Amino acid sequence: MEQALIEQELNSFLAEIRTQRQREVKTISTHLEISLNTIIDEVQIQYADLFQLRESGSKEAGLDGRIKQLEDRLFELNGRLEQRREELQQEAICAITEIHHHGRAWVLPHPERSSPEMASMVCNQEIEEIAIKTVIAYEQARCWQVVSVERENRGFDLISRQLDSGEVFTASAVRFIEVKGRAGVGEVALTTNEYKTAYRLKGDYWLYVVFNCATTPTVHTIQDPIKLNWQPLVKIEHYHVSPEQIIGARLGI
């Protein structure tokens, strides 16, 4: 069974996930190299200017302290760059490990989906489309380029880039955006995939919540939404036990 699962399902799933992961890592890596190296270059220029000033015999008060601060800043920036590079290399690695059977589920529509408490959480395609269009317009108004990946099940809906010269590969900033729309104002939920993706992408992941989609949409943006106090929602409808356990219990096994 495990061999059939690997050959017929997991290998193709692994290839799909690996392709998505590598594409995401490449985008983040490009943004990382451009943004951090730009900052490092600026600090190095400041350091060189102050070092030259000291070498020329300047007795300016606090000069040594400013040079030390820039040295510490360069050390911290280069350390952050190397650490993030290593993290991204690890994130690009996907593999099938040992298979464990954790359980099975019978998936049914929520029995209380029409209740006032749940109604606002039920997917409404019209509201979702309004939310997506609102966020795209919001990003374009900031002169960012937006690409939709809604159909790719990547844990977010949009990729938004701030381009330096009109070229995607020279984007100075990138946002992986998950969009949530509500007809009015209500609770927001993330799927397991969305939550895990947000946890993995950290500050590159953004949650855009669009309230009042049915009237006047308003956009609320949150960077690294994992920092919010998310609460897992688990509801047990019934308990079950296997027939083997029933028979075993009756026989005193």
Q: Can you tell me the distance from the alpha carbon of 2 to that of 215, in angstroms, rounded to the nearest whole number?
A: 51
> Residue 168's pLDDT is what?
47
- 116-227 topology per CATH: Trna Endonuclease; Chain: A, domain 1 (3.40.1350)
* Rounded distance between C-alpha atoms, residue 210 and residue 126, angstroms: 13
Q: Which residue has the tokens 């350091």?
A: 47
Instruction: Detail the DSSP E strand segments found in the chain.
Output: 145-148, 158-163, 171-181, 205-211, 218-223
User: 3-state DSSP call for residue 179?
Assistant: strand
Write out the chain's pLDDT in tens, 253 residues. 888 888 888 888 888 888 888 888 888 888 888 888 888 998 999 999 898 888 888 888 888 899 999 999 999 999 989 998 898 888 888 888 888 888 888 887 777 766 665 555 566 889 999 999 999 999 999 999 999 999 888 889 999 988 765 554 456 788 999 999 998 888 888 888 899 999 988 889 999 999 999 999 999 999 999 998 888 877 666 666 666 776 676 566 5
The single-letter DSSP state of residue 184 is: S
Spatial strand order in the sheet of 145-148: 145-148, 158-163, 171-181, 205-211, 218-223
pLDDT for the residue 249: 67
